[in-house]
Structure 1
């Protein structure tokens, strides 16, 4: 019987080691640079705009938008309704460094598109078609007294 106990302990020890190794692999793969999403550089963003300003007339209506010269390649602000605004990075997550363009609102005013790769996104920043697999980088927004604060 003493040999059986030692063999059982060795088998249990081997099984536990295998489980720890598997857990370590899962953690390491989850933290690898391949899983962090698009390679859009993080730049500090701290903007304030008046949503009633004559500079941004389209932000006065639902579905309206404005382009800002901030972020990595620019920011697009989209008004969902009078109290909800989204702000997205205009660099396409498929190829953030592409010099051929940035994400813009399509002529139909129904979606966002990147003219170089053809990726399309809805007004919540999610991919709807194209080679992009990641949605647009979203910035934080908060509205207080008609001032929209945009930050990361």
Structure 2
């Protein structure tokens, strides 16, 4: 899946990324959308919203984000956004797919 997306961090709809640990979901990118997580002042992580446990099932989508955790309500797998998208609690065993991010001023670029 080709991903090439940009986010204006000064835009009001992206205010959730202004704080460390803030997150934002973006639909219609990647396989099931993207999760953007602010890791530090100048570093953002971008993950695909597809759960890695049985990813071809209809409900294999991260649909709950709480603090630094992403949760699949289908299989109850929990992923760590503040690390590398790794699994905190299964049944999933693979980390979330991560995309490249590049910060240029107030613009965040996400690609693969």
Taking structure 1 as the reference length, the TM-score comes to 0.68
> CA 1:131 to 1:62, structure 2 compared with 1: closer, same or farther past 3 Å?
same
Taking structure 2 as the reference length, the TM-score comes to 0.91
Q: Which runs of 4+ in 1 moved over 6 A?
A: none
* Greater strand content: 2
Gaps of 5+ in 2: none
SS in 2 for 1:150: strand
* Greater helix content: 1
- Give the equivalent residue in structure 1 for 2:73: 115
RMSD: 1.1
- Give the equivalent residue in structure 2 for 1:47: 5
Q: Does 1:92 pair with 2:51?
A: yes
Superposition map of 1:21-40 within 5 A: none
Gaps of 5+ in 1: 1-42
Paired with 1:61 and 1:96, the residues of 2 have a C-alpha distance of 31
- Give the equivalent residue in structure 2 for 1:139: 99
Residue 101 (structure 1) shift: 5.2
Paired with 2:38 and 2:44, the residues of 1 have a C-alpha distance of 5
Of structures 1 and 2, the larger Rg is shown by: 1
Q: Deviations over 1:90-145 (max 9, x none)?
A: 00011212222521313xx2411101101001113010111111000000001001
Q: Deviations over 1:59-88 (max 9, x none)?
A: 000010111121111000000122010000
SS in 1 for 2:99: strand
Paired with 2:13 and 2:89, the residues of 1 have a C-alpha distance of 32
